Amino acid sequence: MKLFNASITGLFDLLFWPFSFLGPIWSLVVFSLLAGILMLWIFGLVSDQDSIRVVRDRVRGNLIAIRLFGDDLGLLFRLQGRLLRDNAIFLRYAMLPLLIMIVPVLLIIAQLNLRYSARPLEPGETATVMVSVTDPSIIERGVVLEAPDGVSVETLGVRIPQQREVAWRIRAERAGEYQLVVRAGGVAVEKQLRVGQAWGKTSSLRASGLGNLLLYPGEPPIEQSQIVEAIEITYRQLELRIFGWSVDWLVLFFVLSIASGFAFRKVLGVEI
């Protein structure tokens, strides 16, 4: 899984490289539109298009009949019943393709989240580093955060034994890419920190477990050391504006990808 995750991240690095000069908002627009076309193509590939087309034709015919014979109450109820039946049949045909599409959608969202959800710290800015451990007794024995030159640790670790967490405030002093080191129970775990760099891969969380590996692909997962579970840095949110309006990257992605899918359905000959 680590190799698969690294391969997917490397592939997206190559795909993003030609659009890096556009800036974050316009590169997100491009990838959202392309993702919509990709999802449409996958839906057409794995779905029973002939059956879906028959059902859709019946639905269109019944809708026309409702407009033509809307004054016949008995016929109107029968037509509405047929519409409900055909919509249920369509959902049955579409369910499996939609389930299959969840996998590439999650992979795309994880990669976009790595690039558009947060920005690197600016020199002089502060952030919180939160470390989660597997057992409260580890906190009592001591958890230490070490920072290289260019980053200072401004506070002692604030212990939260009930939640098995320790938190520090750090300050970024100079631009660069750094490795923080957490030492606990004889184990040392590194966490990447980006300061004063252009938008790009900004990993806020490094953790153990398969789920975190897929959702936060920016760094290798923490080995199952039974000591440190996760290290998180509270980066600032990457501000995205389009025509002067502040937008959330995930909302913009879904709106544009869905619109792109509908716009190209006739071009690709896909019934949805």
Q: Give pLDDT tens digits for 78-137.
A: 888 988 999 899 999 999 999 999 999 999 999 999 999 999 999 999 999 999 999 999
Q: How confident is the model at residue 72 (pLDDT cuts 50, 70, 90)?
A: confident
Q: Name the pTM for this structure.
A: 0.85
- E strands, the chain, are 118-119, 126-133, 143-146, 151-153, 158-160, 165-172, 176-184, 187-195, 205-207, 228-233, 236-237, 241-242, 245-246
Q: Give 221's DSSP letter.
A: P
Angle between helices 249-263 and 24-46 (to 10 degrees): 50
Both tokens of 226, joined, read 């039974």
End-to-end CA distance of the chain: 33
Q: Residue 225's pLDDT is what? A: 66
Supply angle C-alpha 8, 10, 13, rounded to 5: 110
What confidence tier does 224 reach under pLDDT thresholds 50, 70, 90?
low
What are the beta bridge partners of residue 272? Answer: none
Residue 1 has pLDDT above 80, yes or no: no
What lies within 8 Å, CB to CB, of 95 at 6+ separation is: none
Amino acid at 99: L
**pLDDT tens digits, one per residue of 127-155:** 999 999 999 999 989 999 999 999 999 99
Query: 119-236: which CATH architecture?
Result: Sandwich (2.60)
Residue spans in the chain of domains classed CATH 2.60.40.10 = 119-236
**151-186: pLDDT as tens digits:** 999 999 999 999 999 999 999 999 999 999 999 988
Tell me how far apart the alpha carbons of residues 87 and 160 are, in angstroms, rounded to a whole number: 52
Mind listing the pLDDT tens digit for each residue in 13-31?
Answer: 998 888 877 789 989 999 9
> What does the angle CA 45 – CA 50 – CA 55 come to, to the nearest 5 degrees?
120
Least confident of 24-38, 42-56, 59-73: 59-73
Sign for the pseudo-dihedral over CA of 196, 198, 204, 207: negative
Distance, in Å, from the CA atom of 17 to the CA atom of 31, rounded to the nearest integer, reads 12
Tell me the average pLDDT across 30-49: 94
Nearest to 111 by CA among 7, 260, 38: 7
